[in-house]
């Protein structure tokens, strides 16, 4: 952005064009290498211009301390290293920040890059400044497995430091801005990585904090590095457009000002054009060419108060035709970063589309400089951060993001969620009670539900958008009223929702609920396995007794023990031995492979009523246990069944006649007594496999499929192989209700003339 401003002003001076935008206080022209550094008195004078009561002694001491600490260190450009913290401080003086922030900027690299320590800085400059400098220190010696993990961990520490004092963020952004301005001196191999990180994290973070001017410059500097060809093309087009419309900006400014004055409204009107990166991303997002963009120029109408803003809007809308769908009122519904303004687009002079932003002076300052525009010198108690917690909505987003820290399983997951939160514009939706919910663009009802409350998201089963039923995956639009329908029967959301959700909060909550549900399933299975063993051994089980044995099992809680047993990581007999050291594990007597299997199968027969408590009931894949069915044939109610525990996977259910059970003869501890527990009021399908020898003639496959469909069976998968010229072998995976249902389908298939043979497959 600084590059554009310099060249734009030069071009305007040569052509006599009216300047389209004042220079940003942030975007000062970078100093050339080895240029004169700012002196102590220069820095003091810069601060004095906006803070007459500045502590000159503090600033002077920080200047001298930092210069001596960095000593003969140099930057990649060849400049003394001290020039960098000095330029960072200069950027912050343009934002009119307090003495402590300026001093911390001067010292921000001392702990990391010099012999200075936190204790020494605390001693010389006080705890407040020491905490600011510490918050900016990178995790230099942290050993992490990847660059992404290091980046995530640094961001994690930065956000935690910001939560304590927002000035950490302002210094960090100014630090990154100066590094980007001098990126050309960095080795080429590092240049792209730094630009990508800036575009991924720091530019959108500045935007989230409402610091639009800084965001735009960071974006354009990154864009220039990452795609110099595209940047050059956009700049050429912008220069050509400026030449064609040399007087257009001035004419529109004049007409707007005259119409407002005629209606007794005093306003400051000025035009500006969009930045190269903003133009390029819009071309990419909408797949349009430069010539098709109609809002390259925008105009700001800055008023004295809110009432004047709406009066100005009335004048504009009664003077020029309004472009439908291009009106947004961010004064009545501010963005989460405190941005407030009225946006509208009209067909202005020369039939040109003119994008207008109408706001007060205070809104304009906040729109440009975000949290930095909030007065640090207001009367009141508490630190700037404490005051901003009450004055700035951006802090609500920050606290929410920091809250994700405790919900993320690893640094990369946190980084993923944070990037999701940073990148999107917003839509504003309402609950039926009128509560405003701000969400990223492309967010859906799932995101909305979790934004209301995590419990609402976890129990959501349906929704109404503007009074009409709609899918939970429906994308939301500005102004939608959303009612989320919930059910107590749904304890955890489907794991597939994670791929549908847009917001980091929703994804984190779904992932956490899924992990909890899986853990609960394994814990439930483990408890039943332990109950079964204790019942057979005729020994007493009690949670209190197990709690005393936790150290011997190296587990922190009873739930950890149960989940470990359910996952197969811990044997139930080990738990019994930890509780009762004299416990002797029962072993089956082996009489050879065939006899051994027969004994085991006898144990798996339907249980005697007296020992039913030791048998685990099976409902299906949606039960509260981690259950799956034999992969090559399944099992259906009516089959006599056995359960095999697979570590990390739960229970696999096999029919008693399955030949696959021979593979587990040598592992008796994995066998479980199981029985069907079917809820007749809620019919559920179960997997089965059949083998059909079909006559090879036209329409024979259709006849087989028709029989299955007519008898309410569902084909899950089908494979075909040609065994002879006259017959085709079909392997069909079905879903049926029970053994009676499966037998009926097989009988009807056998009655068909095109079917030579049907048999059930037991894998």
Active site residues: 112-113
CA gap 511, 497 in Å, rounded: 9
Distances (CA, A) of 659 to 115, 385, 588, 596, 761: 72, 69, 21, 14, 10
First and final C-alpha spacing in the chain: 67
**Pick from 495, 720, 747, 761: nearest CA to 629:** 761
CB count within 10 Å of CB 633 equals 22
Distances (CA, A) of 84 to 33, 176, 240, 250, 639: 11, 11, 36, 39, 77
Q: Which residue has the tokens 């003077």?
A: 319
CA 173 to chain centre: 22
- Each residue of 324-333: b (16+ CB within 10 Å) or e? eeeeebbbee
Tallying the residues shown for the chain, one arrives at 763
CA gap 414, 278 in Å, rounded: 27
CA gap 32, 762 in Å, rounded: 79
CA gap 358, 312 in Å, rounded: 8
CA gap 94, 363 in Å, rounded: 18
- Pairing status of strand 353-360 against strand 297-303: parallel
CA gap 284, 266 in Å, rounded: 39
Assess contact for 688 and 659: CB atoms under 8 A.
Answer: no
Assess contact for 209 and 176: CB atoms under 8 A.
Answer: no
Environment class of 600 (CB within 10 Å of its CB; exposed 0-12, middle 13-18, buried 19+): middle
- Pairing status of strand 714-722 against strand 727-736: antiparallel
CA gap 760, 658 in Å, rounded: 11
Assess contact for 692 and 704: CB atoms under 8 A.
Answer: yes
């Amino acid at each position: 952005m600084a590059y554009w401003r310099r060249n734009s002003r030069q071009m305007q001076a040569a052509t006599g064009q009216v300047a389209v935008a004042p220079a940003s206080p942030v975007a000062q022209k970078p100093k050339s290498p080895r240029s004169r550094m700012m002196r102590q008195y220069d820095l003091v004078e810069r601060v004095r211009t906006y803070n007459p009561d500045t502590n000159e002694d503090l600033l002077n001491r920080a200047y001298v301390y930092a210069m001596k600490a960095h000593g003969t260190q140099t930057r990649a450009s060849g400049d003394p290293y001290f020039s960098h913290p000095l330029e960072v401080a200069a950027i912050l003086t343009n934002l009119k920040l307090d003495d402590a922030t300026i001093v911390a900027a001067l010292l921000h690299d001392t702990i990391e890059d010099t012999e200075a320590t936190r204790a020494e800085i605390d001693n010389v400059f006080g705890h407040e400044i020491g905490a600011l400098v510490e918050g900016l220190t990178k995790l230099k010696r942290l050993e992490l497995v990847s660059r992404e993990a290091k980046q995530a961990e640094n961001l994690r520490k930065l956000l935690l430091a910001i939560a304590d004092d927002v000035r950490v963020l302002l210094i960090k952004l100014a630090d990154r801005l100066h590094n980007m301005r001098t990126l050309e001196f960095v080795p080429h191999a590092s240049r792209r990585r730094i630009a990508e990180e800036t575009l991924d994290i720091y530019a959108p973070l500045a935007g989230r904090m409402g610091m639009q001017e800084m965001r735009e410059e960071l974006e354009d500097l990154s864009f220039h590095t990452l795609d110099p060809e595209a940047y050059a093309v956009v700049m050429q087009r912008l220069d050509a457009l400026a030449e064609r419309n040399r007087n257009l900006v001035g004419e529109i400014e004049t007409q707007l000002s005259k119409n407002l004055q005629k209606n007794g409204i005093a306003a400051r009107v000025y035009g500006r054009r969009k930045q190269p990166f903003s133009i390029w991303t819009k071309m990419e997002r909408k797949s349009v060419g430069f010539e098709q963009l109609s809002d390259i120029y925008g105009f700001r109408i800055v008023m004295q108060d809110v009432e004047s803003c709406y009066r100005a809007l009335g004048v504009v809308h009664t003077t020029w035709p309004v472009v439908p769908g291009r009106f947004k009122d961010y004064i009545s519904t501010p963005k989460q970063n405190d941005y407030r303004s009225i946006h509208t687009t009209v067909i202005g002079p020369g039939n040109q589309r003119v994008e207008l932003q109408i706001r007060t002076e205070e809104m304009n300052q906040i729109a440009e400089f975000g949290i930095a525009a909030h007065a640090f010198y207001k009367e009141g108690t508490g630190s700037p951060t404490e005051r901003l917690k009450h004055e700035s909505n951006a802090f609500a987003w920050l606290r929410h993001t920091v809250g994700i820290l405790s919900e993320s399983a690893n640094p990369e997951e946190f980084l993923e969620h944070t990037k999701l939160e940073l990148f999107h514009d917003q839509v504003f939706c309402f609950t039926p009670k009128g509560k405003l919910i701000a969400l990223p663009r492309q967010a859906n009802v799932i995101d909305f539900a979790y934004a209301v409350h995590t419990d609402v998201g976890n129990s959501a089963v349906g929704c109404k958008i503007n009074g009409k039923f709609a899918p939970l995956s429906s994308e939301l639009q500005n102004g939608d009223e959303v009612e989320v329908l919930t059910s107590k029967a749904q304890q955890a959301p489907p794991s597939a929702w994670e791929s549908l959700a847009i917001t980091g909060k929703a994804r984190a909550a779904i992932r956490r609920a899924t992990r909890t549900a899986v853990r609960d399933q394994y814990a439930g299975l483990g408890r039943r396995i332990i109950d079964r063993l204790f019942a057979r051994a005729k020994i007493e089980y009690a949670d209190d007794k197990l709690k005393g044995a936790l150290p011997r099992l190296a587990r922190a809680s009873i739930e950890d023990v149960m989940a470990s047993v359910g996952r197969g990581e811990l044997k139930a007999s080990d738990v019994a031995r930890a509780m009762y050291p004299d416990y002797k594990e029962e072993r089956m007597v082996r009489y050879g492979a065939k006899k051994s299997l027969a004994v085991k199968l006898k144990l798996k027969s339907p249980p005697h009523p007296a020992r039913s408590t030791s048998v685990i009931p099976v409902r299906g894949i949606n039960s509260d246990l981690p259950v799956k069915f034999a992969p090559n044939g399944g099992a259906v109610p009516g089959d006599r069944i056995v359960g095999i525990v697979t570590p990390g996977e739960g229970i696999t259910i096999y029919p008693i006649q399955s030949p696959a059970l021979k593979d587990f003869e040598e592992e008796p501890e994995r066998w479980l007594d199981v029985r069907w527990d079917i809820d007749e009021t809620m019919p559920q399908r179960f997997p089965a496999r059949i083998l059909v020898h079909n006559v090879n003639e036209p329409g024979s496959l259709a006849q087989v499929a028709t029989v299955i469909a007519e008898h309410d069976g569902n084909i899950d998968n089908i494979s075909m192989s040609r065994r002879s010229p006259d017959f085709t072998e079909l392997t069909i995976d079905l879903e049926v209700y029970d053994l009676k249902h499966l037998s009926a389908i097989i009988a009807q298939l056998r009655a068909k003339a095109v079917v030579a043979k049907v048999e059930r497959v037991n894998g």
